[in-house]
Structure 1
Amino acid sequence: MSTANDRPLQRPDVRLLLMPLPDFALLPFGAFLDKLRFSADEADRSRQRYCAWTLMGVESAPVVSSSGVQVTMEATPDSVDLAAFDYLVVFGSRTVQASLGHVHTHGPVLRQAAARGLPLVAIDNASFLLAEAGLLKGRRVALHWRHVTEFRHAFPRIAVASEQIYCFDRDRITCAGGTAAIDMAVELLSRHCGRERAFKGLADMLVDEPRHQGHHLQSMEGGGPDLGRHLVRAVALMRTSMADGLTVASIAERIGIGRRQLDRLFTERFGHSAHNHWTAMRMEHAHWRVTHSHHSLSAIADEVGLGNASSLARLFRRHYGTSPGAARAGGPRD
């Protein structure tokens, strides 16, 4: 006597082609893939019944993650039928420069998929690759907060959804990376498999509920969840407006309080003025860019609103006790 489990598998509700770039981060890759797995079948059987996926590399060789774990590819662009899939999902490399460096090898595949109407999903730094390939024109992009300023500087004509952890914009989906890949996967699966199936397995993943695309990360504020709404908004504006020409006074005006009150709030919470807090944020970003990129000091100074390399070098030495060149020679430090 046959059972339901013996019957032929139905056509999946959604089919995804997954393309991790070399040196990709395991966290968003594993988070996204495991959410698919939980939703793909009944119970915990892990069959690809309701959603299905195939791993694709530009070559058949395994792709190595940033942690050294190798992932076997099931297909290459020459062996796969793009029409058999509903999405092409790209997982970015560990650094922006590495992702951008794959435009010549992976860009043609992405352009071909886009030309055939296949929606593209960019997770983590993969958004830089899509932008470099000319595939994000007229779209809004969700990015990891650390890369918002850099992206705006590199691609000033592409709108950044700076307060979103993922963004659905027609045939382009972008995700900031990390655990936001789970939240984005739930939204995507909800649209194809229904809310109940999309939520399946969250408890097993120790996730209470998926976050909305506009979820605000309290961990970004450096002061805990009790900062208060004025400081939360002020810090968020500072982080996303380093190169926009805003002043502390204009930030105070935007959030509906006076400049003196804003300074008082910063002094009470952080022990320094709003201006000094913003300068420290700028230098933190500049330090990260100096030690994690090969961009010129002039370019980094523009990103953080300091105007020129001399101002950046002077403030850098004051804050870190060393020159940008010496910090860069010491290599990446998180």
Structure 2
Amino acid sequence: MRNEVAGLGAVARRTAPRIRRQGPGSPRLSVGFILARKFTLCAFANFVDVLRLAADEGDRSRPIMCDWTVLSDTMEAVPSSCGITVQPNERLGDPARFDYIVVVGGLIDEMASLGAAYNRYLQQAAAAGVPLIGICTGAFLLHRAGLLDGYRCCVSWFHPVDFLEQFEGLDPVSDQIFVVDRDRLTCSGGASSAHLAAYLVEKHVGRSEASKSLHIMIIDDALRPENPQPGIPLDLRTQDPMVRRALLIMQHTLDAPLSVTEIARRMGHSKRQIERHFRASLGTSPQAASLGIRLTMACRLLESTDKSVAQIAVECGFCDSSHLNRMFRKRFGTTPQNMRRSLAGLPEGRPRPQSALSLPDYA
């Protein structure tokens, strides 16, 4: 079965981009949705609303320039992760009638696979050259169907470890809001679903329609695929996309910090470019920012968990507890144990210790 699926994927990659035949008055963009059990309602709704708002010249939500259909094998209502159900519009049919087939994922623990009928449908779509989209954990489901082999895919910064544990050999992208790799498009869910939908609307319908949709949804402007995902809250504030993306890579690799050279390689820039942008944007070096992120996370773990100092040291990318102790003394003038006692005993209203990210450069 796996070889058969891989063969279908290879055929799809060799096939020239398919152009759906449109009759007079046909929508310029037609999208079919497959909803996984316990799918993420927000990710689905954001995507659909961009299509809905772009589809009509007025404000009546008529599917004139875009149309969208929820597909099903059984026509049973599909429960979302928040408990609200969605009733499909029609049964699986010919995937070639759509410009894109979108798989909306959700809770990882609730998703084994879509099922044989859906997998066959997606494989048929791939063989026919219909681009496939994975939203939220939809990338997991596409890979389970054998349809992401050899493709880059986007997953939430919160999920790369889960993804790698289940799918050996893949290198998911978790520092961009969405990824377009030939006829596979993937995004991390949430607001990024709106930006991916706007990307498609701009491509098939027009830029003004895409902007109109986002503005009505009170989203300022469309973000490009390479924009970084918002991740673990940072005390560092910058609007420089290169620096933000580098900071997110640092967050995602806390337990095994990367060199600046390796970060630059992943981003497609030079080490000197990265260092120059950090100095201009934050007044510090990438090495110091990385250390600050790791120390800040160590502080959070000291406060919010009962993990040992040795465990926290390993999780935050320090060689051992002695290494973490040295960095703590250098940065805070105290030890992790004393910091934990101080954080636990702070009376209400007393200010917290200054963030590791906002202190001078000690790297």
2:302 and 2:89 map into 1 onto residues whose CA distance is 44
1:184 to 196, 217, 224: 196
Q: Per-residue displacement from partner, 1:226-273 (whole Å, max 9, x unpaired)?
A: 59999856642332335657479987996649xx97786678xxxxx6
Q: Secondary structure of the equivalent of 2:199?
A: helix
Partners of 1:247 and 1:31 lie apart in 2 by 37
2:104 to 65, 74, 91: 91
Contact map agreement 1:123 1:177 (CA 8 A) in 2: yes
Which whole-Å CA distance do the structure 2 matches of 1:162 and 1:219 have between them?
A: 10
1:66 to 81, 87, 91: 81
Instruction: Give distance in 2, aligned partners of 1:193 and 1:35.
Output: 12
Aligned to 2:184: 172
| Unaligned residue ranges in structure 2 (runs of 5+) | 1-22, 265-269, 279-283, 307-313, 319-336, 341-363
Does the CA-based 8 Å contact 1:124-1:175 persist in structure 2?
Answer: yes
State how far apart, in whole Å, the 2-side matches of 1:249 and 1:118 are: 38
Shift in CA distance, 211/228, structure 1 to aligned 2, threshold 3 Å = closer
Is the CA contact 1:248–1:274 (under 8 Å) kept in the aligned structure 2?
no
Instruction: State the TM-score, normalized to the length of structure 2.
Output: 0.64
Residue identity matched to 1:76: R
Amino acid at match of 2:228: H
Match of 1:75 in 2: 90
Give 1:48's aligned residue.
Answer: 63
Matches within 5 A, 1:27-176: 27-77=42-92, 80-93=93-106, 95-104=107-116, 106-176=118-188
Q: Distance in 2 between matches of 1:283 and 1:101?
A: 38
Runs of 5+ consecutive residues of structure 1 not aligned to the other structure: 1-7, 268-272, 288-301, 307-317, 321-334
SS class of match (1:164): coil
Q: Which residue of structure 1 lines up, in the alignment, with residue 29 of structure 2?
A: 14
Provide the C-alpha distance between the structure 1 equivalents of 2:40 and 2:77, rounded to a whole number of angstroms: 15
> How many corresponding residue pairs?
280
Say if 1:149 and 1:243, in contact at 8 Å, map to a contact too.
Answer: no
Identity of aligned residues (%): 31
Per the alignment, residue 224 of structure 2 pairs with: 212
CA-based RMSD: 4.1
Instruction: Flag the 1:103–1:228 CA change in 2: closer, same or farther, 3 A.
Output: same
Equivalent position amino acid for 1:81 in 2: D
Deviations 1:8-54 (A, max 9, x none): 98111111111111111111111111110011111112111111111
* TM-score, scaled relative to structure 1: 0.69
Displacement of 1:181 in angstroms is 0.7
> More displaced, 148-157 or 226-235?
226-235
Query: Hey, what's the Cα distance between the residues in 1 that align with 2:185 and 2:250?
Result: 26
| Alpha-carbon spacing, 1:155–1:110, altered in 2? closer, same or farther (3 Å) | same
Distance in structure 1 (CA, Å) of the matches to 2:297 and 2:74: 45
2:77·2:86 contact (CA, 8 Å) conserved in 1?
A: yes
